[in-house]
Structure 1
Amino acid sequence: MIPYGKQEITQQDIDAVVDVLKSDFLTQGPQVPLFEQSIKFAVDAEHALAVNSATSALHIACLALGVGKGDVVWTTPITFVASANCALYCEADIDFVDIDPSTYNLSAENLKKKLQHAKENNLSLPKVVIPVHLCGQPCEMDKIHALGQEYGFAIIEDASHAIGGKYKGNPIGNCEYSDITVFSFHPVKIVTTAEGGVATTNSKELAAKLDLLRSHGITRDSSLMVNDSHGGWYYEQVDLGFNYRMTEMQAALGVSQMSRLHDFVAKRNALAARYDELLKGLPLITPYQIEDSYSGRHLYVIRLKINEITITHKECFEQLREKGIGVNLHYIPVHTQPYYKGLGLVFSQLDEAESYYKDAISIPLFHAMTEAQQDEVIKVIKEVLV
């Protein structure tokens, strides 16, 4: 089976983790700061805070921005559920903005219309908007940022798919158009730490808040304490935080992997360009890329032209898997999940997201993929569709 995504672990990565296992620190040692430094350097951000998952990063990002009961967060329905769940963890409400039919990202135009409608009808405006860079392709962040300035919402970029990518010539994660950016390092992502996440920001205040929240709300910084220190052992809990820390083993793997980030992304882009050519003429739509961007190419999503083929979406998916092609679907629209339906909220005008779900398929793409494997994927797609 050719998987839709797969990590690449080298001897360099293994040695880095083994060195940590032989060291004095398995947690809260020097590797996490080194990993954070590698992220800051790669994305040109002032601060990077490593945690145990991107879900944890999204959660504390919302908390750092003051999201709580009575607030509402808006995001895209075509994303992993964590992009929406993070608002619910904070007891806030969630709503969705429909996707762009070409990029499948949260549509800046639909966001503008939804904001105008909310303001004109005295409906709740979002405290935070979370655009998701689906497949690694950036959203139209300049337009979303301008709307944030106009309507007063903060922005968390969910860049779980997008490390190594660029928007208008600048690295995704530099927070030019957002308050906080979140990355994921799950094994199928571009860079892996097994499990792990990072939040970047250019705000000293937000970085300090994120730092507290990832480790129980505890500090040894006297400037943050309420009382005078009782001695060298003294610490204070000054906020209600969580145990979201990243381990030293994860961070060491991340440091090693980050040294190859640009090679990973370049290989993914080369494979995607090859797919674009080899899939021409088939009854499907290949991914559209916006100008002034460089995608991390985490995923390669095709959309079937259902009216031009003799099998259903489900049949195509199943036949591809039966023939050894490990396809997947990213994602089931979040608002259609039973839990979200049970919230009693009304989600409307998400037609593009629901249309996407009816014909989208993620085909294999990973930086260790060979052209022979890619040729096999193309061969089987042709067998199934033609």
Structure 2
Amino acid sequence: MDRRQLGKDRSHLMIPYGRQDIQQADIDAVLEVLQSDFLTQGPVVPRFESAVADKVGARHALAVNSATSALHIACLALGLGKGDWLWTSPITFVASANCGLYCGAKVDFVDIDPRTYNLCPQALAAKLEQAERAGRLPKVVVAVHLCGQPCDMQAIHALSQRYGFHIIEDASHAIGGKYQGDYIGNGRYSDITVFSFHPVKIITTAEGGMALTNDDALARRMDLLRSHGVTRDPALMTHEADGPWYYQQIELGYNYRMTELQAALGLSQLERLDDYVARRHALAKRYDQALVEFPVVTPWQHPDSSSAWHLYVVRLKLEDINLTRRQVFDYLRSKGVGVNVHYIPIHTQPYYARLEFYSENYPNSLNYYSSAISVPLHPSLSCQQQDIVVESLKYIVR
């Protein structure tokens, strides 16, 4: 193949790596809210929260306008602040780390497991041992369930019991997935779990997120923080209310609320959650079977997990195919295959590089990034489209 021809043909329609699935029931649900008395702060958001909490087995669920907002109020509710440390994985979207900086805390990273690409418990244990000697243990560890596969939460939780840190599960990719047979989000091994409802995620509210917890005090704090720190609850006020109109701001909060329109869409989508995840599993299995002889590494799944399969990431065996990742990427895009890369290691981003992180501390993360490429996976992906993806990949890597 003439390498100069890679990326030249752009006549095909793009098959996206991920996309929302909007059906008539979703449209009807949103229209019903549009024709109601409340577009925000009405009854639908609480219904959505209760439905998600019931689905995953959590005590409390608080809907917000993005998973980033959920991460922020989760950190604040756990008391993260100036002088504290937040640790997370380098292989995630920047929001998983930025939430610590928003609180005035410092951020550090723990290298990934080379098979699951999630935060590695062994690397975490070694880093914690060093941090204890140096007097800089983390207050919060954000465990990111990359691609929808849960981290080894039992091992991470055991370390939290020994070293005294809080755990946030960044399950932005993982609603509908399971760990040890139970739905992710039940809070068995963490303080707070965060879901994302961005359009490319498992279910969508257009933009939106949710924080779930079994702790009553954390739920009350996050409820305040998402809405300006304002309360109408007499039990929380500093003195008796002046009248039925009265409210008090008792925290410095934010305007992170979810609208009724978003919640209506989410409620409708939630009814199809298990179907969506089942379809993603079927497509992932087809990829596994179709790519078995290819010079790529397909995703390994831990036996304790059942991924929500937000992403299907293959790792190119670049030494075998004699091409760069960029050449493969450009060729697939030219053939209408909307591949992407998830994620650029956070510590290499210019903002974080100025904080003096050293890449040699995260060899597995860099090795992963050098060869990772996400191929299309979403419930609307047809088998015919998936075959186009496979044949295009087969052509370029062979």
Query: TM-score, length-normalised on structure 1?
Result: 0.99
Structure 1 runs (4+) greater than 3 angstroms displaced: 344-348
Q: Does 1:52 align with 2:89?
A: no
Whichever residue aligns with residue 106 of structure 1, its letter is L
Aligned pair partner of 2:169 in 136, 157, 166: 157
Aligned pair partner of 1:166 in 169, 178, 193: 178
Q: Does 1:190 align with 2:176?
A: no
Partner residue, 2:276: 264
Aligned pair partner of 1:10 in 23, 32, 47: 23
Q: Does 1:31 align with 2:25?
A: no
Contact 2:25–2:268, Cα closer than 8 Å, also in 1: yes
Whichever residue aligns with residue 45 of structure 1, its letter is A
Partner residue, 2:3: none
Contact 2:348–2:359, Cα closer than 8 Å, also in 1: no
Aligned pair partner of 1:248 in 260, 270, 285: 260
Query: Once the two structures are superposed, what CA deviation does each residue of 1:271-314 show, in whole Å capped at 9, x if it has no partner?
Result: 10110000011000000000121100000000000110021111
Instruction: Tell me how far 1:366 sits from its aligned partner.
Output: 0.1
> What is the CA–CA distance in structure 2 between the aligned matches of 1:353 and 1:94, rounded to whole Å?
17
> What is the CA–CA distance in structure 2 between the aligned matches of 1:251 and 1:148, rounded to whole Å?
34
> What is the CA–CA distance in structure 2 between the aligned matches of 1:46 and 1:117, rounded to whole Å?
35
> What is the CA–CA distance in structure 2 between the aligned matches of 1:193 and 1:74, rounded to whole Å?
29
Partner residue, 2:126: 113
SS at match of 1:142: helix
> What is the CA–CA distance in structure 2 between the aligned matches of 1:164 and 1:292, rounded to whole Å?
15
Contact 1:184–1:197, Cα closer than 8 Å, also in 2: yes
Contact 2:172–2:194, Cα closer than 8 Å, also in 1: yes
Contact 2:347–2:357, Cα closer than 8 Å, also in 1: no
Instruction: Tell me how far 1:371 sits from its aligned partner.
Output: 0.5
> What is the CA–CA distance in structure 1 between the aligned matches of 2:85 and 2:360, rounded to whole Å?
16
SS at match of 1:207: helix
Contact 1:50–1:246, Cα closer than 8 Å, also in 2: yes
Partner residue, 2:348: 336
> What is the CA–CA distance in structure 2 between the aligned matches of 1:70 and 1:13, rounded to whole Å?
45
Aligned pair partner of 1:72 in 85, 100, 114: 85
Structure 2 segments unaligned to the other structure (5+ residues): 1-13
Instruction: Tell me how far 1:345 sits from its aligned partner.
Output: 5.1
Contact 1:96–1:347, Cα closer than 8 Å, also in 2: no
Structure 1 segments unaligned to the other structure (5+ residues): none
SS at match of 1:358: helix
Partner residue, 1:144: 156
Whichever residue aligns with residue 95 of structure 2, its letter is A
Contact 1:53–1:196, Cα closer than 8 Å, also in 2: yes
Query: Once the two structures are superposed, what CA deviation does each residue of 1:359-383 show, in whole Å capped at 9, x if it has no partner?
Result: 0000000011110011010010011
Partner residue, 1:325: 337
SS at match of 2:144: coil
Once the two structures are superposed, the pairs formed by residues 79-228 of structure 1 within 5 Å of their partners are: 79-120=92-133, 122-228=134-240
Contact 1:95–1:347, Cα closer than 8 Å, also in 2: no
Whichever residue aligns with residue 232 of structure 2, its letter is R
Corresponding pairs, count: 385
Instruction: Tell me how far 1:123 sits from its aligned partner.
Output: 3.7
Partner residue, 1:276: 288
> What is the CA–CA distance in structure 2 between the aligned matches of 1:37 and 1:160, rounded to whole Å?
18
Query: Once the two structures are superposed, what CA deviation does each residue of 1:245-268 show, in whole Å capped at 9, x if it has no partner?
Result: 000000000000000000000000
Q: Does 1:232 align with 2:244?
A: yes
Query: Once the two structures are superposed, what CA deviation does each residue of 1:170-223 show, in whole Å capped at 9, x if it has no partner?
Result: 110001000000000000000000000000000000000000000000000111
Query: Once the two structures are superposed, what CA deviation does each residue of 1:90-111 show, in whole Å capped at 9, x if it has no partner?
Result: 0100000000000000001100
Aligned pair partner of 1:19 in 32, 39, 49: 32
Instruction: Tell me how far 1:348 sits from its aligned partner.
Output: 5.1
> What is the CA–CA distance in structure 1 between the aligned matches of 2:138 and 2:227, rounded to whole Å?
28
Contact 1:162–1:183, Cα closer than 8 Å, also in 2: yes
Partner residue, 2:6: none
> What is the CA–CA distance in structure 1 between the aligned matches of 2:238 and 2:135, rounded to whole Å?
40
> What is the CA–CA distance in structure 1 between the aligned matches of 2:165 and 2:288, rounded to whole Å?
37
Instruction: Tell me how far 1:37 sits from its aligned partner.
Output: 1.0
Whichever residue aligns with residue 19 of structure 1, its letter is E
Contact 1:4–1:327, Cα closer than 8 Å, also in 2: yes
Partner residue, 2:322: 310
Instruction: Tell me how far 1:150 sits from its aligned partner.
Output: 0.3
Q: Describe the shift of the 1:383–1:345 C-alpha distance in structure 2 as closer, same or farther (beyond 3 A).
A: closer
> What is the CA–CA distance in structure 2 between the aligned matches of 1:29 and 1:176, rounded to whole Å?
31
Q: Does 1:364 align with 2:396?
A: no
Instruction: Tell me how far 1:346 sits from its aligned partner.
Output: 5.3
Instruction: Tell me how far 1:347 sits from its aligned partner.
Output: 6.4
SS at match of 1:343: coil
Shifted more, 338-347 versus 172-181: the winner is 338-347
SS at match of 2:147: helix
Partner residue, 1:351: 363
